[in-house]
Chains A and B, each alone.
Chain A
Amino acid sequence: MRAGPSQEEIRRYNLGTLLRHVHLGGPTSRAELTSRMGLNRSTIMALTADLAAAGLVREELPRETGRAGRPSLVVRPESARIYVLAFDVGVDRLVAARVGLGGVILDRRESVRQRGTFDLAEVISTLAGFARQMVRKTRPDTVCVGAAAAFCGAVRESDGTVHFSPNLVGPIAELPFGEELSRKLAMGLPVAVGNDANLGALAEHTRGVAPGCRNLIYLHADVGIGGGIIAGGHLLGGHEGYFGEVGHMIVNPGGRPCGCGSRGCLEAEVGERALIDHAGMYGRVGREAVRTLVEAADRGDIAARDSVHRAGDWLGIGVANLVNIFNPEVVVFGGTLRELYLGSAAQVRTQINTSSLPAARANLRLRTTALGDDVTLVGAAELAFTQMLADPLEMLARVSP
């Protein structure tokens, strides 16, 4: 029989939980932490003191003292001091950011990526260069406590190897992306890597449109379409972490050919190429092209409107399948699916209402991302903070000079 957790384990767990509250909820009063964590006042005081001594949080009087009476001290994350490096490798862009505890983007660098062959060395050297520029500008007392990247392809989460991505011409072989980026950064930190849509799901679930929601599906369109599924509060990982290739769910058997070799995948019918081809806008690519197309549809351009409606129908069928299987509380549309959903919600809803089980869809909420184009980057930052939040003092000891 296993013995119960030791005092030390309990303390470590509580420190992590308190820090997570402040990280996700922002400045929080001691009184509120006491009631949220179900611990007594003196324990909260001791935990806060430990975290403050380590320089992770700061206690101060609340800014606005509108009401009379003694204000409770507020515990704030040390956002300017404790940070992570977050990276986003999209089909068309590379982003690196320094994100402070509490989720504040402190600094960011972005560059346009040319479509075509994925050159691992070049991508890594750009990202590492951005990181160095940003780190060089920080004050001496700042501490980097983690690093993570969102990647627009399949990822083996156990070791950050990236794999198979029909929209990045080139790599069919496995690429040790996390390992290489970590080496190039030379900060003694591992770089965790996650699929972009999976990290989008994590971002919406932690600080996006549905914080704390335990059953959420995030659908993301960049060029292709990906999905992240949170079921029962956990991000589904699948065998070796390959999961969330929702874009290759078949919605239209025998339909348009897909980059994966199949036909009629969600991505083939709803992705950027399908939208642009159907609207007759050959040669245009990227987020801006999709946004222009949705605007043209709204202004009454018939080809554009038909293309948007057609994609909305297939998207609705895809969502109906997901709703039947997972019974999510919320489905979130991000990337260019935000514009597509808002431009074709009548079609999307109609298909869901005709093709899914009434009980599964009755309380379904459909939402657009609350994090805009930064959703995948925010997800990467949350992934980077994971270890820190699991054991704050141990992590700090490991990374402090």
Chain B
Amino acid sequence: MTTPVLELRGIDKSFGPVQVLHDVAFSAYPGEVTALVGDNGAGKSTLVKCIGGIYSIDSGEYYFEGNSVTVSSPREAAALGVEIVYQDLALCDNLDIVQNMFLGRERKSGLVLDEATMEEMAAKTLAGLSVRTVKSLRQHVSSLSGGQRQTVAIAKAVLWNSKVVILDEPTAALGVAQTAQVLELVRQLADKGLAVVLISHNLNDVFAVSDRIAALYLGRMAAQVKASEVTHSQVVELITSGRSGTLGLTNGSGS
């Protein structure tokens, strides 16, 4: 079996007196899309922010490419090759596409890139992902449609040779045609060899592109299963009650 690029074990996370994540295990594999599902408030975004170094974990282990690591800032996550497109803060509205794709990277790499080179690299990345809907790369991001914004955010991840790309509800605000494009882009990223984590409430989208499905229930990982082994109703049960037949949490777990 392939080893995961990213593996978490026994993650606990509390905000003050409220424990949001309990003993969570989670893995993401190269070349695969892993869906992270769960009801509102189950802890999906919190888990992702722990992975991305926005929140520190209270306890648990974080492995990257088999090595134990500590990630205590977004910068450290990015340095490992983890790129996250957050539900709430994806792009800077008042900057154009090229500026967004290079935002926060100019200094890190140490090399100074001229505008023309940056534009060429951005154009090549978008073309490599068969993105043709964006008219000008010098367009402000505020003028883009929801689907185009997601596309730019995803392209940014590709441009920086990320190994893990995490997308928190990328299709939530999109219509059918745009959702289809983003889903195909998500699939394409994984087919290029990246490990992709997709958070979505739409199980249809989840089944359309995922290789594995991880279901969080009240801050606990109910199950992480292969998409070729479960039915729609089993996943619904895992989400709503944390168990389904032999799958999922047993009564004593997590206590």
Contacts and interface: CB of A to CB of B under 8 A. Distances in A.
Interface stretch (B5-13, B225-233, B244-252): B225-233
Given A342-B180, A354-B231, A367-B187, A295 B175 contact: yes
Contacts of A346: 203-204, 206-207, 232
A370 B191 CA distance: 12
Contacts of B230: 353
Interface string A349-360: 110111000100
A362 interface: yes
B183 interface: yes
Interface in A352-382: 352-354, 358, 361-364, 366-368, 370
A350 B233 CA distance: 9
B207 A298 contact: no
Contacts of B120: 64
Interface in A277-310: 291, 294-295, 298
A341 B231 contact: no
Contacts of A364: 228
Interface residues of B, number: 26
B130 interface: yes
- In the complex, which of the residues B130, B184, B208 has the most CB atoms of chain A within 10 Å of its own CB atom? B208
A353 B180 contact: no
Contact of B204 (A291, A338, A343, A367): A343
A347 B177 CA distance: 20
B18 interface: no
Nearest to A294: B176
A368 B176 CA distance: 15
Interface in B185-222: 187, 191, 203-209
Interface string B229-244: 1111100000000000
Contact of B231 (A339, A350, A361, A362): A350
Contacts of A361: 228
Majority SS of interface residues in chain B?
helix
A364 B207 CA distance: 13
B184 A349 contact: no
Contacts of A64: 120
Contacts of B179: 298, 342
Contact of A345 (B176, B177, B191, B204): B204
A348 interface: yes
B156 to A, nearest CB: 20
Contacts of B231: 350, 353-354
Interface residues of A, number: 30
Contacts, number: 65
A348 B175 CA distance: 21
B207 A348 contact: yes
Contacts of A28: none
B183 A342 contact: yes
Contacts of B205: 342, 345
A183 to B, nearest CB: 38
- In the complex, which of the residues A341, A347, A353 has the most CB atoms of chain B within 10 Å of its own CB atom? A353
Contacts of A291: 176-177
Interface string B164-179: 0000000000011101
B53 to A, nearest CB: 31
A341 B208 contact: yes
Contacts of B226: 362
B60 to A, nearest CB: 30
Contacts of A209: 191
Given A298-B176, A339-B180, A342-B183, A353 B204 contact: no
B229 A345 contact: no
A364 B177 CA distance: 25
A347 B232 contact: yes
A349 B207 contact: yes
A48 interface: no
A336 interface: no
- In the complex, which of the residues B203, B204, B231 has the most CB atoms of chain A within 10 Å of its own CB atom? B204
Contacts of A368: 180, 184, 187
Contacts of A338: 180
A356 to B, nearest CB: 9
B45 to A, nearest CB: 23
A327 interface: no
Interface string A27-42: 0000000000000000
A79 interface: no
Contacts of B177: 291, 295
B245 to A, nearest CB: 13
Contacts of B204: 342-346
B180 A350 contact: no
Nearest to A343: B204
Given A341-B208, A342-B208, A368-B184, A349 B232 contact: yes
B171 to A, nearest CB: 11
Contacts of A348: 207
Nearest to A366: B208
B119 to A, nearest CB: 13
Given A295-B175, A368-B184, A370-B130, A353 B208 contact: no
B80 to A, nearest CB: 25
A274 B179 CA distance: 25
Contacts of A344: 204
13 contacts: A291-B176, A295-B175, A295-B176, A298-B175, A338-B180, A342-B179, A342-B183, A342-B204, A345-B208, A346-B204, A350-B207, A353-B230, A362-B228
Interface of B: 120, 130, 175-177, 179-180, 183-184, 187, 191, 203-209, 226-233
Given A364-B228, A368-B184, 4 more contacts: A295-B176, A343-B176, A345-B208, A358-B229
A-B pairs with lowest CB-CB distance, top 6: A345-B208, A345-B207, A346-B232, A349-B207, A350-B231, A346-B207
